A and B are shown apart, each in its own frame.
Chain A
Amino acid sequence: MDSVSPSVTQPEQRVDQPSTISTVRDLYERHYVRLVRLAVLLVGDVGRAEEIVQDAFVDLVARWRTIRDPGAAVFYLRRCVANGARSHLRHRGVVKRHPIRQPPDMSSAETEAMVQIEHERVLSMLSQLPGRQREVLVLRYYGQLSEAEIADTLGISRGAVKSHSFRGLRSLRTAMEAKR
């Protein structure tokens, strides 16, 4: 999991603007790329993902004075990204990032091609999962978050995280096992 610089903020420390900008810049350099990629996996669109993450950084600054925990900044960013992605998908209504592609002629398929087929199939299945299941799986298997962290990020119970994870994996297993 990403670490946070101790200099992010200190309790009761007055955050003046130069130090705020400097700290946000530091957070940006540490986490921006990874957050964008996380968002891409959630919404399937690079441009939208960038907007969501940039919004998260701007929102972070707006709430800077209320952040007391040094680790809260990254947590806040991640939660903003998850919420932003969900909001976007709710607005869009459907995810069509990874349309199911027709597999190549099996008679000429090499191992690499089969791996690629599985890759596409899994991503396609992932994009069609219910939103919560997709969020849980991406945060867990790309974000490397624990169940507790996922629960905090998404604002749901740990039991719900387990349930979404179980169901999501079951669906993906089908995609992975099919015609291997």
Chain B
Amino acid sequence: MTVDHLDDDQVGERLAQILQNEAHTVEVGDAWALVASRLLVSDGPGAGLSPVGSTRRHRRVLGEVAVGVGVVGVAAAMVVAVVLGWRPAALSPAPVAPAAWSVPAYDAAIPTMVVYRTTAGRYPYIAPRAGGRTTFTLTPERMRTDSSEVGRAALDALMDTAPVQPGNINWLEQVIPQKIDINSVTVSDGLIRVDLNAFASQVFPAPEAQVMAQAWVRTLQDTLGVRDDVLITLRGRPFWLYYAIDTTKPLTRDESVRVIRPDGFDSPRNGDVVARTLVLLGSATSAPGRPVRMQILDLDTGAIPYQQEVPGPADRAATVDFAPVLTLEPGRYRATLSGHGAVEGVQDVTFTVS
């Protein structure tokens, strides 16, 4: 056994080596998603980015969640649920968006929200949302609204949801609250201008963020009935939409984004009480060579006041939109959609005509 006598330099050198060795045993994961998710917009006028507070005990959870969301987002493969406005029944290929869109004219007398969404694909998901807003919904949306500001209402509806993976994702919504407040939606000078008051979101991988941005573009264009590019600002200034998309330049519609139109009824909803004259909005996907069918059954009399069957193409699947305008006697009805697409089999809603 020996005893070395070390001077300060020798002690320092050994300490530096020990610290280097120790430091390199520390595995450090990528936490950018978490950091970015905490960079929210402050409330003061003209303010730039500022952090949002979060209790420390939640931060590690948030990090795991944020990373998880990213992974899930990639896996979800950006399937966009396309919901078209009021238009006659027509065949269109699925799941790829048609090359040309028939844009319905905007009629303020019949406000129609056209909400495009990313979706998990096969599984419409509805779950209660604890805290904050009452319901988290991921369903086909082709909603009619009495809002006088339809574009804004459509975006609000869009922002009520987020792309998700099938399964229990409700808790994600709780720990990463979304906050997207819309100041205004205007159409002028060849642009659809959307100004936000606040924007906070989960962090999405760039490809998924692109899809989400397309959801904004299509929702606005098809709701307002114009094809102008979309300029999104945050209190009048550009920002990073979903922390991935620079909004300095207007967003342009990109038809190459892969979309599907989920099957099912959009209006009326189950349990609705509707006026005698109504529009039934729904979509169903046919298998090659197979038909799709919409039928309405009068539950009081057993009569079938409406039935329509549309044959699908022999060589491919196709989505059929139904939008019959009907006048029904007061009573209870069941509307049924039969198809072979993303939502297989029969979908039905029961509603009351008053």
Contact = CB atoms under 8 A, between A and B. Distances in A.
Interface of A: 15-18, 20-21, 24-25, 28-29, 32-33, 36-38, 40-41, 46-47, 49-51, 54, 57-59, 61-62, 64-65, 118-119, 122-123, 126, 137-138, 140-142, 166, 169, 172-173, 176-180
A141 B16 CA distance: 5
A33 B28 contact: yes
Contacts of A169: 8, 11-12, 15
Given A64-B49, A180-B1, A17 B15 contact: no
Contacts of A61: 39, 49-51
Interface residues of B, number: 47
Given A54-B34, A176-B4, A141 B12 contact: yes
B237 interface: yes
24 contacts: A16-B48, A18-B239, A18-B240, A25-B36, A38-B23, A40-B23, A40-B26, A46-B27, A50-B63, A54-B34, A58-B38, A58-B39, A62-B50, A62-B51, A122-B14, A137-B15, A138-B19, A142-B23, A169-B12, A173-B8, A176-B6, A177-B6, A180-B1, A180-B3
Nearest to A168: B15
Given A17-B240, A37-B28, A41-B19, 4 more contacts: A17-B237, A40-B23, A46-B27, A173-B8
Contacts of B34: 54
B8 A15 contact: no
A57 B3 CA distance: 45
Most chain-B Cβ atoms within 10 A of its Cβ — which of A46, A54, A118, A123?
A54
A50 to B, nearest CB: 6
Given A18-B240, A123-B18, A176 B50 contact: no
Interface in B326-343: none
Given A36-B26, A123-B22, A17 B234 contact: yes
> DSSP majority for the B interface?
mixed
A65 B49 CA distance: 10
Contacts of A36: 26, 28
Q: Is the interface of A mostly helix, strand, loop or mixed?
A: helix
Interface of B: 1-6, 8, 11-12, 14-16, 18-24, 26-29, 31-32, 34-36, 38-39, 48-51, 56, 59-60, 63, 234, 237-240, 243, 246-248
Contacts of A178: 3
B11 A17 contact: no
A123 B49 CA distance: 39
Contacts of B29: 50
Contacts of B23: 37-38, 40-41, 142
Contacts of A17: 48-49, 234, 237-240
Contacts of A137: 15
Contacts of B20: 142
B16 A20 contact: no
B240 A41 contact: no
B15 A119 contact: no
B16 A59 contact: no
B59 A176 contact: no
Contacts of B12: 140-141, 169
Given A17-B49, A54-B31, A176 B237 contact: no
B26 A37 contact: yes
